[in-house]
Structures are given as structure tokens and as C-alpha cells.
Amino acid sequence: MSATAPGKLILFGEHAVVYGRPALAIPLLQVGVTVMIELAGPDPASSHSSTSDSQNWLEHISITAPDIGRYGTLASYASKPEPDPIAAAIGNLFSALGVTTPPAMRIHITSSIPVASGLGSGAAVSVALIRALATSLGKTLSDEQVNQLAFETEKLYHGTPSGIDNTVITYARPVYFVKNLPLETFSVGAPFTLVIADSGIIAATHESVGDVRKLWQAEPVRLEKIFSSIANIVDQARLAIQTGDINFLGPLMNQNHSLLQELTVSSPELDRLTAAALSCGALGAKLSGGGRGGNMIALVQPETAPAIAVALRDAGARGTIITQVS
């Protein structure tokens, strides 16, 4: 049994989305996660019982995930002092399905999404894992059930997540996202090209989210103004994307990046990369995701994409991806 999930890219609205403002995000299909599950116990449809007794079934579920440095049994992760997101995703899925003694199984996870880079690695693992597990147990989950289960795991990664990562990755469609409101998708009026550059700096999203919360608690009026300015940019960007007015997106990206700098979630590396992209002819550039490291994006003319990708690597990017949004 197997399942896959793409990465994700936030175009506009990160951080403000945690405070009830909208954000635009798209699935990133060039990278993703694949989860394969091999059952080693009885037919799950018969009894959901394992070859061992109900007290040690955790020892009979193995996890191999070389790309994210995970090797061992579920028991080894479930017993750690800090909650483990993969163990939590598995446990939450079993609870939702009413499975108390699952069959022995081997779980193999591969990922081409850089960890802690703002491309949704954690959410993609959760979504693919939940779907693969459900299928292996003969169960079918709706997209929204998968989404909600993945969101519970996201709380372990990010503390107070907006839910945008798991939503975009679950539905694999461009999303106009507002926390706690019904899902809205949006159409792309004309294709546009982005260059994504990895700063090479590993940054924990929960730390930048937590720091923004401290700022908000200390200066709520100023922070709310910034969030509202970002929300205005998001709405303008959505209209520009839907109508195909791609040139209008560049200045909006630059404005959004400046506001993220005010939130203290950029970094010298990200600022250097955005400046390098703009100096080489990018129409706009900004960080994408939690910030402090991870990725930035540049809106470019298709014919300039390869040269701008080279310039970004010369400016210190660990790697680049060229993607067309359509």
C-alpha cells in the first residue's frame, strides 16, 4: 500500500494567516513524500489484531525514513519525552478508525522535500502517512478527515499553526486560506514562473511563529496593522492571479517581503537572495514560509529563469527549483 503527497509553497500571507488574515498557497509538485506500507500480520479486515498481544504491538510497527533520519519501531518514538509527530499521526489515525491492536507492519517513508525549509515537509509526511495507513487497513477517509488528522500533527511541529500547510497538501490545489473558514480554491488566469531558492539555513517554523506572537503581545496595535496590510496584499494578489495580471504580482511580492522583515522573520541570507534575484531582473521576490531561513521565491519571466537560478546559487542558495504555476 502506498500514498503520496506534494510539497507546498506559500505565495503571500505567511504569519499574518495565523491571526485570521488570508494567505495564498499552491501545491509544489516537483517535490513530495511517498509512504509505502507492508503488512506483516493478519488480514487487517478480519480483526485488526496483531501477531503479538495488545501490550506490545508498538514493537511490531517499524519506521524507516532515511531522508528525515528516522529508523526504529513505533515504540521507540512513542516513548520519547517529547511527542513525536510521526508517532502522533499514526496514533491519531488508529484512534480515529477505532483500531486498538493493529497488525504488524513496516512503514517506509521517502521524501524529496528539504526539511525545515518552508515547503511543507512535515505536513506532507503526515498526509501521505495517514492515507497510506488508512488504505492498508481497508479504510477510506475523506479529504477533510485527512486534513483534520494532519492538522493535529501540525500542532506538534509548529505549536499554533494556521492549518494552511496541511490544507494545501491534502487537497493539492491552489488555496485562498483563512483560518477556521471554509476552504476556497482559486484559478490561475495566466501561467507564471517562479524560481525557488533554498537558503540552506534550517529554521524551525514554531520558533518564528512564537517570536511573532511575542511581538504581537507586546505591540498588538502595530502588529495588527502589519497583518492587515499583508491581508490587503493577499487580496490584490489573488485578483491579479485570477485575471492573469502577472506583472502586478512582482511589486506585491516586494511589499509582502518588507512587511515580513518588520515581523523580524527574514534573515540576512534571505534578504541577500531576494536582492540578488531583483538585481538580475526578477519581477518580485520574497521569503516563503516561516522565514529565518528556508526558501525564498522570485517571480520571473520564463526566459530569464535559468540565469536567475544561477545567480541565486552564486549568491549562496543551496539549491533552486524552477516551477510554472498554471
Q: Give catalytic residue positions.
A: 165
Q: Beta strand pairing status for 295-300 and 284-288? A: antiparallel
User: d(Cα 164, Cα 65) in Å, to the nearest integer?
Assistant: 24
Biggest CA–CA distance in the chain, Å, is: 64
User: d(Cα 74, Cα 63) in Å, to the nearest integer?
Assistant: 7
CA 237 and chain centroid, separation: 20
- Going by the DSSP 8-state scheme, the letter that residue 137 receives in this structure is T
Q: Is 44 helix (H, G, I), strand (E, B) or coil?
A: coil
Q: Is 62 helix (H, G, I), strand (E, B) or coil?
A: strand
User: d(Cα 111, Cα 116) in Å, to the nearest integer?
Assistant: 13
Q: Under a CB-based contact definition with an 8 Å cutoff, are residues 205 and 160 in contact?
A: no
Q: Which residues contact 169 (CB under 8 A, 6 or more apart)?
A: 5, 6, 7, 8, 27, 120, 123, 124, 127, 150
Q: Under a CB-based contact definition with an 8 Å cutoff, are residues 323 and 194 in contact?
A: yes
User: d(Cα 6, Cα 206) in Å, to the nearest integer?
Assistant: 21
82's grid cell = 517529547
User: d(Cα 235, Cα 173) in Å, to the nearest integer?
Assistant: 18
Q: Under a CB-based contact definition with an 8 Å cutoff, are residues 141 and 130 in contact?
A: yes
- Report the DSSP beta bridge partners of residue 111: 33
Sign of CA dihedral 48, 145, 75, 40: positive
133's grid cell = 495507513
Q: Beta strand pairing status for 105-111 and 23-39? A: antiparallel
Which of 65, 94, 46, 308 has its CA nearest to residue 193?
308
